[in-house]
Chains A and B, each alone.
Chain A
Amino acid sequence: AQSVTQPDIHITVSEGASLELRCNYSYGATPYLFWYVQSPGQGLQLLLKYFSGDTLVQGIKGFEAEFKRSQSSFNLRKPSVHWSDAAEYFCAVGAAQAGTALIFGKGTTLSVSS
């Protein structure tokens, strides 16, 4: 079955500390992989995406993610977290096939402490 797992429901990080949000997927075909961010009361914004090529991808707001095929993982990282990064983060997987929809994980809420 196709699925996305975000093992951490809630993470608290000190401002200035590094961040890693985990994402594992199960997908039959070669997947497209995405990370989205949702600020309180807002829709989702695309942070970055991966399909092929360099397994380390750079996104907006200083985020990056690394694809590891052997671990079926696509973890999101940021070297130094800012208070404005507090939000909910969603990992998603999709197929290079028309007529299909992205599957989203249940999300990880990030809190930033001062």
Chain B
Amino acid sequence: DVKVTQSSRYLVKRTGEKVFLECVQDMDHENMFWYRQDPGLGLRLIYFSYDVKMKEKGDIPEGYSVSREKKERFSLILESASTNQTSMYLCASSPPDSFYGYTFGSGTRLTVV
């Protein structure tokens, strides 16, 4: 079964820490995405990547960066975690044509204290 795997299901970090959220897909997909999900706000795009070492800002990139050194792995980095970054983070991947839809990971619930 094809998968998008997010390394942590739950994460608690302290304010000011540098936080890495990892996502790995085994479908050889070109596109990978990071969304955050908050109640009442739906899914908001943070960053996406359509190729290795390529990245594009989404709607809310402030306070985040990403890394894609290998096709299968897409990392989201919180440079200095803040309490307003407490959220559910969802990773997804897709082929180049988005008609095939996205495959999502199970999410990482991050709490910043």
Contacts and interface: CB of A to CB of B under 8 A. Distances in A.
B42 A96 contact: no
Interface string B56-98: 1010000000000000000000000000000000101000111
A106 B40 contact: yes
Interface string A12-56: 000000000000000000001010100001111110010100000
Given A43-B90, A44-B104, A45-B104, A100 B98 contact: yes
Contacts of B56: 99, 101
Interface residues of B, number: 25
Contacts of B104: 36, 43-45
A107 B98 contact: no
B99 A49 contact: yes
Contacts of A34: 101
A74 interface: no
Contacts of B50: 98-99
Contact of A51 (B35, B58, B96, B99): B99
B106 A42 contact: yes
